[in-house]
Amino acid sequence: MSLTIPTPSVSNGTTTSSARAMTLAQRRRAALEHNGLLATRRLAEGSPNATFFWILVTVLSLVTFGLVMVLSSSSIVALNRGMSPWTMFFKQLMWAFFGGIGMAFFYRFPYPMLRRFVFPGLIVAYGLMLLPFVPNIGVSTNGARAWVAFGPVGFQPSEFLKFALLAYCANLLGRRQKEITNISRTVYPILRVWGVAVALCLLQRDLGGAIVMSCIVLTVLFMAGTPARIVVLLASSAFFVGLVFTLSNSSRRNRWTAFLNLDETRGHYGYQVWQSILSISNGGLSGVGAGAGTGKWGYVPLAHSDFIFSTIAEEFGLIGVTLVIGGFLIFTLFGLQASVRAPEKFGALLAGGVTMWFAIQASINIGGVSGSMPVTGLTLPLISYGGSSLLVCMSAAGLLLNVARKMK
């Protein structure tokens, strides 16, 4: 973007005394005003408020508690793999460090300038989604080919696509707010990028990722003021597509319906959920104590990642469960407050999208672990073991904090 410095006013060939008296700082300020950059800079400045601090404390508390639980639940897994019991914890700690850098970056970055990068970022995220299909670096887990591994470093590309898709939709709907009822100008462009994202997830057999991305898009559309009938129609269509995808494969269908009858499926498709419920019930009111849980000793598969909530419930009981769920409720409450009181539409949609992304994903994860919903393979945001999930979630939280400190 080129800067054009405004020419001082001239009267009869002579520069006015006020223009001659302008200092370098004043001329620079005039140039910023002329190019519309000063407003962006003002948005980068702001005093932290109560909402900001509530979100910050909640995020840091969940991340810290998550590190403790990863250490507790992953040590046995690491030993069984012939590694040090600290290996997975230190890897998660490393990702938390980089997540902190990402959080600080997006907190300080003038988020209106993010508009310039939403489309390139979306294209890059689409490209990353193709990496799992590249030989030697793509990794398959539980039938889903959704991970990439470069030596000891692995990540899940769909985590980055969630962020990129949210930013793109928030930018487009924020710019075209006055045309929100014009379907061809607002809904159709969103449908195209949403459709590609969902198709890539389903190609990877990652229905959980497709569900979260769909929820993000529908939430942003609703918050932008899209007519309710259109949002309901889109949600119904998405549900139908997901249902067809689930029923099209007998193994996938059995896994998704296992929670409906755990007594009969506990020996096969419902085994993981059944063992998770046993661990949860073993926790009681106050739990068996940190590190003393038994579910992680091979009884509950993925007790350190997707099913870490069962370990929390067993070791800290109802008290620990209440604190975790309460943490996400506090995050949701103040995140929505930041969205409602954001200074402009783009920030409001970003804040609302991040908030509902975390809330929905946490609800789906906890519902699956407790046997009240199908198991989707989604992590518990900010807590579960997983480097790319932690990095992206902390970066998104930084963006929410950025919006929160500029509340009106």
Read out DSSP for 172-192? HHHHTGGGTT-TTTTHHHHHH
**Residue that is written with structure tokens 């529908």 in the block:** 218
pTM of the model: 0.86
- Check: CB of residue 316 under 8 Å from CB of residue 279: no
Q: 241: burial class by Cβ within 10 Å (0-12, 13-18, 19+)?
A: middle
More confident residue, 99 or 4: 99
More confident residue, 399 or 140: 399
Q: What is the mean pLDDT of residues 43-48?
A: 59
For residue 386, what are the CA distances in angstroms to 91, 142, 214, 306? 9, 16, 22, 9
pLDDT surpassing 80 at residue 46: no
Q: Per residue in 372-393, pLDDT tens?
A: 999 888 999 999 998 899 999 9
Residue 245 and residue 144: Cα distance in Å, rounded? 14
More confident residue, 38 or 148: 148
Q: Per residue in 157-202, pLDDT tens?
A: 999 999 999 999 999 999 998 888 889 999 999 999 999 999 999 9
Per the document, the length of the chain is: 408
Structure tokens at 227: 């007519």
- At 44 the pLDDT is 47
Q: What is the mean pLDDT of residues 277-282?
A: 93
Residue 347 and residue 364: Cα distance in Å, rounded? 26
Q: What is the mean pLDDT of residues 385-402?
A: 95
- Check: CB of residue 144 under 8 Å from CB of residue 202: no
Please tell me the least confidently modeled range out of 151-155, 364-368, 371-375: 151-155
Q: What is the mean pLDDT of residues 239-244?
A: 92
More confident residue, 20 or 363: 363
Residue 350 and residue 347: Cα distance in Å, rounded? 5
Reported confidence tier of residue 28, pLDDT bands at 50, 70, 90? low
Half-sphere exposure of 35 (CA within 13 A, CB side): 13
- At 235 the pLDDT is 95
